[in-house]
Amino acid sequence: MHAAVIVFPGSNCDRDLAVAFERAGARVSMVWHKDTALPAGVDIVGVPGGFSYGDYLRCGAIAANSPICRAVVAHADRGGHVLGICNGFQILTETGLLPGALLRNAGLKYICKPVGLTVVTNQSVFTHGYDAGSTITVPVAHHDGNYFADEATLDRLEAEDRVAFRYADNPNGSARDIAGILSENRRVLGMMPHPERMAEPAHGGSDGAAMFAGLMGALAPA
């Protein structure tokens, strides 16, 4: 599996994401935000957490208009896989690859702590390494992680089995406790919690590792 990890000014989880991919056995290319094309043969694009462009204007809004994001959107439009984590999720909503928006946390404070997540569906390459209905522990670290969408969009996400994860104890006010969602073709996942920060025992747990191992199994050449 060949993974590309995008690096923006203000990214701070790009290396964590690259290491998680590498530990699963992937080859990783780091791609600068001013590049206009992805490396040849990329199977999945990782859009990491952090504070791209200092969260100026609106979280992810400036990054979504960077040159490389045009290539990321084109990759997704061709049926390629994309994983957006935290700020990456915000960027994916700003590009229109995922519906909804991430608002300021309901408590108006930055949150950084491990949280329980319920795996809502395992019918995707991102989640098939988990049992549907199981609970995993993954950290969050965000100030604007309150997922919002209109009721019609939320109903559609539910009806199409596109809610990937829910918070067991909602830390930020997200609608319907949503922590992660899938695109219509199920090849794009955006989530606020950080599985790459819980991908090996030295991090305090390894519940995130199954995501990267599952991706490797699904996307690696035979």
- Is 196 annotated in the active site? yes
Maximum Cα–Cα distance for the chain, whole Å? 47
Catalytic option among 2, 75, 128, 196: 196
Residue 129, token pair as written in the block: 């390494």
Q: Please report which helix (H) or strand (E) contains residue 75, including its range.
A: helix 67-77
Backbone angles phi, psi at 104, to 5 degrees: -60, 140
Tokens of 164: 């990937």
Query: Which residue among the candidates 2, 59, 86, 142 is catalytic per the annotation?
Result: 86
3-state class percentages of the chain: helix first, strand second, coil last, to nearest 5: 30, 30, 40
CB 86 within 8 A of CB 17: no
**194 annotated active-site:** yes
Q: Which residues are catalytic?
A: 86, 194, 196
